[in-house]
Amino acid sequence: MSESDQVIDPACPVDYPKSKISLTERFIDEPRPLRVAVIGGGIAGILAGILLPVKVPNIDLVIYEKSQDVGGTWLENVYPGVRCDIPAHVYQSTFAPNTQWSEQFANGAEIREYWQGLARRYNVYDKFRLNSKVEDVSWDGSHWNLKIQGNRLDKVDFVLSAIGKFNAWKLPNIPEISDYKGHLRHTSNWDPSFDPKDKTVAVIGNGASGIQVVSNLQKSVKRLDHYARNKTWIATSWAGDERTFDSQPYSEELKKSFEDPEKYLEFRKKMEDKYWRRFGTLFRGSEANETARRNFTKAMKERLNKKPELFDQILPDFSANCRRPTPGPGYLEAISEDNVHYITTPIKRFTSSGIETEDGIRDVDAVFCATGANTDLAPPFPITAYGVDLASAWKSDGLFTFPYTYFGLATPGFPNLLFIHGPHGTGASGTLPQALEIQLTYYAKLLRKVSKEGIKAMVPSKKAADDFIEYCDAFFPRTVLTDNCSSWYNSGKPGSRIHGLWPGSGIHVTTVRREPRWEDWEYEYLSGNRFEWYLGNGWTKKERDLDSDATSYLKLPSEIDLRDLHESWWNIP
């Protein structure tokens, strides 16, 4: 009988101490299956569907998406002129680049097609449950119970919320808005059948979507009334250099050169590097911020030369980058045209035919509200644990009037609940896709730990979360983010805590999320003894395989990299 076939007599010697536990008949390198639900089918959900299955053994992954397809904001936003204000070559995955973008700042449809293409390429659609709006999530002490529209139920070990920052659009709270009889839409709920040609229209809001809509509609409408409550910076480029925003199509010659992998990599690295270097523009009184202010001011003044009187109405009294700037292609030129009226007078109410301000009533055929979405990041459905709703937990304590989290990853009291691109999701530099990939890799490490160590639930400690908030309170006052301006960084409430960005640079947050600080987490195990399930029967499955290489750590001296020495031996998960 070989050693691997021996049957161990469970009876112990009479003089040996007796144990209160029974060994689990499993190998230590056999992680238990985990049922994981991701909520949201935008970029974060797609990347989760690609990365988690290859990084977490035995994961049973499902992704719930409320819409009829994947793509998130790029699926829902189809208003005229929708595009990314980040170069498309930067706004894509690190592992599957598209080298043939049609132009530097790609339109929304092209971006949507890229990300949907990735979902098809990596078979993520198999994991999606479309038209499946999550209505309720509750923790029963061991699992999360999900209620999905149509009275469908699911029980999972972990929930990863990837609902996005701008998923819940809402019409503005303006008196008598329901009395208006014309065409009324939020820009995130655009009616593609609407023909703006020769119409009189109003656009309320001058955030990114309002700027894009105005730039596009001005060319075809008879008259456009643009209601701008806040002043705003129009950037030369989001990276903060002196280049004028340019979204001209790439030449065929340049696109042809991108077919050479080395040339394309050199091009992308040079472009993307700018976005890692812009962190200094956030600091109050810094030369980088003052340079950005000068560049933006100069460019805005030049682009408003047709109506110079608009300059003082638009130029903010807060620092550049207090609100997220947008390059706004064609926007300043559009509001300088004779068929556009730039209105800063506050709106009093809607009428049946238009909008009333202190200056009178202006009738219009259509009103488009570019007034943003719910920016406090509270989920649009109940998430409850131990009788507490997450939204209430984030708002109930007078100290924490914003999303209360540990590192933007999880909230004390809500086990096995993780946020992808939620509060403090990204640094003020770097790129979104890279940040998501890093965060998902971090979560893969958490899930691997849970699955191999017999952990039933893990949650950040309150002390760790409180210490993180205290650090944020020390960091953000150094930056222009705490100037007197409203933005999604602070839930639109000047003076509120900043939660829209990480308290540090993009490379800073990448460093923090490279390895978990396990000591900041609290654990509940499947059994009372933390090692009963984890250590199993004392064997590894691989060593029972006589064809496996038990001495893989031995290599030719010339092949040894001391940084990797003993790091990947046997690749035990």
Per-residue HEC secondary structure of 389-440 comes to EHHHHHHCCCCCCCCCCECCCECCCCCCEEECCCCCCCCCCCCHHHHHHHHH
Residue 554 contacts by C-beta under 8 Å, 6 or more apart in sequence? none
Q: Are 239 and 261 in contact (CB under 8 A)?
A: no
The pLDDT of residue 491? 80
User: Residue 519: how many CB atoms within 10 A of its CB?
Assistant: 8
Contact between residue 247 and residue 329 where contact means Cβ atoms under 8 Å apart: yes
Q: Given the structure tokens 């999880």, which residue do they identify?
A: 410
Q: For 47-59, what is each residue's pLDDT tens digit?
A: 999 999 999 999 9
Say how far apart CA 274 and CA 451 lie, in whole Å.
39
* Cα–Cα–Cα angle for 118, 122, 125, rounded to 5 degrees: 85
- Counting other chains too, the contacts that 288-294 makes at CB distance below 8 Å and 24 or more residues apart are 288/240, 289/319, 289/320, 289/321, 289/480, 291/240, 292/235, 292/240, 292/320, 292/321, 293/319, 293/320
CA separation for the pair 532, 528 (Å, rounded): 8
Measured CA to CA, the distance from residue 102 to residue 115 in angstroms comes to 15
Q: Which two tokens stand for residue 344?
A: 């800063």
Specify the pLDDT at position 272: 93
Cα-based distances in Å from 49 to 44, 59, 206, 421: 9, 11, 35, 15
Paired with 204 in beta bridges are 227, 369
User: Which residues in 430-468 are b (16+ Cβ under 10 Å) and which e?
Assistant: bbbbbbbbbbbebbbbbbbbbbbbbbbbbbbeeebbeeb
With 0-12 / 13-18 / 19 or more C-beta atoms within 10 angstroms meaning exposed / middle / buried, residue 423 is buried
Query: First-to-last CA distance in the chain?
Result: 30
Q: Which of 151, 154, 142 is nearest to 64 (CA)?
A: 154
449 three-class SS: helix
Question: Do residues 22 and 536 make contact, with C-beta atoms less than 8 angstroms apart?
Answer: no
Position 334 scores a pLDDT of 95
CA distances to 42, 46, 125, 422 from 128, rounded to whole Å, are: 11, 9, 5, 20
Sorted by where each starts, the structural domains of the chain and their CATH numbers stand as 34-167+377-525 (3.50.50.60), 177-369 (3.50.50.60)
Residues 6 or more apart in contact with residue 398 via CB below 8 angstroms = none
- Write down the pLDDT at residue 520: 98
- Closest CA relative to residue 442, chosen from 467, 468, 460, 465: 460
Residue 529 in 3-state DSSP? Answer: coil
Of residues 365, 369, 340, 343, the one with CA closest to residue 354:
365
What radius of gyration do the chain's Cα atoms show?
27
Please list the rounded mean pLDDT of every run of 10 residues in the chain (573 residues): 54 79 90 97 97 96 97 93 90 96 93 98 97 97 96 97 82 93 95 95 92 94 94 71 59 94 95 91 92 91 94 91 84 95 95 94 96 76 95 68 90 97 90 95 96 96 96 95 88 85 95 96 95 93 86 86 72 53
Of the candidates 496, 406, 511, which has an alpha carbon nearest to the alpha carbon of residue 459?
Answer: 406
Q: What is the pLDDT of residues 402-446, one digit of tens each?
A: 789 999 999 999 999 999 998 999 988 999 999 999 999 999 999
Strands 144-148 and 152-156 turn out to be antiparallel
**What pLDDT was estimated at residue 515?**
93
Query: 81: which DSSP letter?
Result: T
Residue 8 is predicted with a pLDDT of 57
144 vs 137: CA distance, rounded Å: 7
Sign of CA dihedral 537, 540, 541, 545: negative
Tokens read off for 57: 């053994």
